[in-house]
């Protein structure tokens, strides 16, 4: 096991870190993360529009369309907003004008979007369906401007001109080229009754969503996230930077279907990870925290459990990860990696069998257990399923917890014995 950890430190961690810090992937991650407050707002109104209590559902029935309009203006515009936020983030990383690049990206994204015969915007491409086009266009718009600036093919205003005006003129030629290129491509494609959005969705987005929405691919992503956490790297952030566009797109499809009164289509989505894979934080450690409080013989571990129970209730478990520690710990790495995988697998097949409803809303990730399962699905059975998964994670953690607790208890007993034999020895020195 020590050799495996050393291999992870020397080879796996540097590669994973370089991927996570790759400029364009980081811009996509940061750009999409900036949209999460809006997605949560839309989910909140969706929960209000479809409350899990029948009496409340009847009361709000006349207002469902109005409440869903908030979801349409937030989650329903994910692609449009991402075209701005990703370009803004990438331009900012290059120390370029982020606002100008963001606006050019939005205009180009709109130009790539097919209009109806009456000249109206096709709303379907504004949301998750257009997210992958938004990502590509945002990167394209920023890189064109960066290339033009490096080659000095921009309009530079004389000194004394207000900076905002100077930046606007500097963006003029690159913006014109970006818009023209996309307009030309879309015009050529229109001759074959297709468009940029449709081509990219069929070639890139649809296969990625199909692959990323499968249980094996989902479990593989979580496995790598947990493995990274085990060596001290924020695995969820790195894996999420690559996979969050897929999971959030699947989540938005569920929200849109629910708002339209249609069956919720996807089991795999961001909420599946949050609700069933992160019970008490990464690694589903809530059961472990309760063991520390009520079953640990080690004084140190009992104290750690008492200090960690509060944060764990809100899915924050860094005190446990670094206090036990789980990070770089060959004993506890195994259940930390496999407990969420087993929990999610159970939840997946329960939803697939129709035993519980699929997840359509997105409560904040800090929402306590039971409550988040209930809110995200509107189904009390989901809360019961989460309790069952909690018990399963406890069974997985218990033998490893017992092993670690015995080792710590013996350490403390040995330290006390040394203290008795030599009063000058300071315990823990």
| pLDDT tens track, the chain, 429 positions | 567 667 666 766 677 667 767 899 889 989 988 998 988 899 889 989 988 778 888 899 899 999 999 988 998 899 999 999 999 999 999 999 999 999 999 999 999 988 777 777 778 889 888 999 999 999 999 999 999 999 998 888 888 788 888 888 888 999 999 999 999 998 898 888 888 888 988 888 888 888 888 999 999 999 989 998 888 877 787 787 778 889 989 999 999 999 888 999 999 999 999 999 999 999 999 999 999 999 999 999 999 999 999 999 999 999 999 998 998 888 899 999 999 999 999 999 999 999 999 999 998 888 999 999 999 999 999 999 999 999 999 999 999 999 999 999 998 888 777 766 665 555 444
In the 3-class helix/strand/coil scheme, how is 263-307 assigned residue by residue?
Answer: CCCCCCCHHHHHHHHCCCCCCCCHHHHHHHHHCCCCHHHHHHHHH
Ramachandran assignment for 404, one of left (phi > 0), alpha (psi -120 to 50 degrees), beta (any other): alpha
Alpha carbon separation from 419 to 213, 374, 409, 426 (Å, rounded)? 57, 52, 15, 7
Of 229, 260, 174, 214, nearest to 339 by C-alpha is 229
- Please name the helix (run of DSSP H) or strand (run of DSSP E) that holds residue 82, with its range, or none: helix 78-93
List of long-range contacts for 52-57, beta carbons under 8 Å, 24+ apart: 52/374, 52/375, 52/377, 52/378, 52/379, 52/380
Query: Is residue 187 helix, strand or coil?
Result: helix
Burial class (CB within 10 angstroms; exposed 0-12, middle 13-18, buried 19+) of 308: buried
**Contacts with 77 (C-beta within 8 Å, 6 or more apart), sequence order:** 126, 127
Residue 50 per-residue DSSP state = S
Residue 357 per-residue DSSP state = P
Beta bridge partners of 121: 115
**Contacts with 186 (C-beta within 8 Å, 6 or more apart), sequence order:** 111, 112, 195, 196
Residue 323 per-residue DSSP state = H
Residue 9 per-residue DSSP state = I
Check residue 417 and give its pLDDT.
77
Check residue 54 and give its pLDDT.
82
Q: Which structure tokens are listed for 100? A: 């100008």
Alpha carbon separation from 332 to 239, 326, 406 (Å, rounded)? 21, 5, 13
* Residues 218 and 209: beta-carbon distance below 8 Å: no
Check residue 429 and give its pLDDT.
40
Check residue 428 and give its pLDDT.
46
Of 295, 292, 294, nearest to 308 by C-alpha is 292
Q: Which structure tokens are listed for 214? A: 């499968």
Check residue 220 and give its pLDDT.
93
Instruction: Please give the model's pTM, rounded to 2 decimal places.
Output: 0.83
Check residue 13 and give its pLDDT.
66
List of long-range contacts for 335-338, beta carbons under 8 Å, 24+ apart: 335/283, 335/288, 335/393, 335/396, 335/397, 335/400, 335/401, 336/226, 336/229, 336/230, 336/283, 336/285, 337/223, 337/226, 337/227, 337/230, 337/283, 338/396
Check residue 116 and give its pLDDT.
74
d(CA 335, CA 284): 9
Beta bridge partners of 115: 121
Domain positions in the chain: 34-203, 220-419
d(CA 96, CA 148): 12
Residue 123 per-residue DSSP state = G
Check residue 282 and give its pLDDT.
92
Cis amide prior to 296 (ω within 30 degrees): no
CA 11 to chain centre: 25
* Residues 272 and 216: beta-carbon distance below 8 Å: no
* Residues 48 and 66: beta-carbon distance below 8 Å: no
Sign of CA dihedral 162, 163, 168, 173: positive
d(CA 101, CA 168): 10
Burial class (CB within 10 angstroms; exposed 0-12, middle 13-18, buried 19+) of 196: buried
Residue 158 per-residue DSSP state = P
């Amino acid at each position: 096991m020590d050799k495996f950890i050393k291999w992870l430190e020397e080879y796996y961690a540097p590669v994973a870190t370089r991927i996570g810090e790759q400029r364009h992937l980081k811009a996509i991650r940061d750009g999409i993360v900036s949209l999460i407050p809006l997605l949560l707002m839309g989910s909140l109104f969706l929960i209000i529009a479809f409350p899990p209590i029948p009496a409340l559902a009847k009361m709000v029935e006349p207002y469902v369309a109005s409440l869903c309009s908030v979801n349409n203006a937030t989650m329903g515009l994910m692609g449009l907003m991402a075209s701005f936020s990703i370009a803004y983030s990438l331009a900012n990383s290059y120390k370029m004008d982020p606002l100008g690049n963001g606006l050019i990206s939005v205009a180009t994204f709109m130009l790539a979007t097919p209009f109806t015969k009456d000249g109206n915007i096709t709303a379907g491409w504004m949301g998750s369906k257009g997210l992958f086009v938004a990502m590509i266009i945002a990167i394209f718009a920023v890189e064109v401007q960066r290339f033009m600036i490096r080659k000095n093919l921009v309009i530079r205003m004389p000194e004394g001109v207000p900076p905002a005006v100077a930046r606007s003129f500097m963006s003029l030629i690159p913006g014109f080229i970006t818009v023209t290129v996309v307009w030309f491509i879309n015009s050529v494609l229109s001759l074959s009754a297709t468009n940029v959005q449709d081509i990219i969705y069929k070639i890139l987005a649809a296969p990625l969503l199909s692959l990323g929405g499968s249980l094996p691919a989902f479990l593989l992503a979580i496995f790598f996230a947990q493995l990274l956490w085990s060596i001290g790297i924020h695995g969820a952030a790195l894996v999420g930077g690559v996979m969050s566009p897929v999971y959030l797109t699947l989540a938005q499809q569920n929200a849109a279907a629910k708002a339209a009164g249609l069956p919720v289509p996807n089991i795999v989505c961001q909420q599946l990870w949050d609700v069933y894979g992160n019970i008490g934080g990464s690694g589903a450690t809530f059961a472990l925290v309760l063991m520390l409080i009520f079953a640990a013989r080690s004084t140190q571990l009992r104290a750690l459990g008492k200090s960690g129970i509060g944060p764990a209730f809100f899915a924050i478990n860094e005190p446990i990860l670094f206090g036990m520690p789980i990070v770089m710990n060959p004993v506890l790495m195994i259940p930390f990696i496999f407990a969420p995988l087993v929990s999610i697998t159970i939840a997946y097949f329960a939803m697939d069998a129709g035993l519980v409803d699929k997840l359509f809303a997105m409560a904040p990730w800090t929402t306590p257990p039971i409550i988040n399962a209930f809110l995200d699905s509107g189904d009390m059975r989901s809360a019961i399923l989460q309790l069952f998964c909690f018990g399963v994670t406890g069974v997985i953690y218990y033998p490893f917890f017992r092993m670690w607790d015995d080792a710590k208890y013996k350490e403390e007993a040995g330290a006390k014995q040394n203290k008795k034999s030599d009063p000058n020895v300071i315990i823990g020195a």
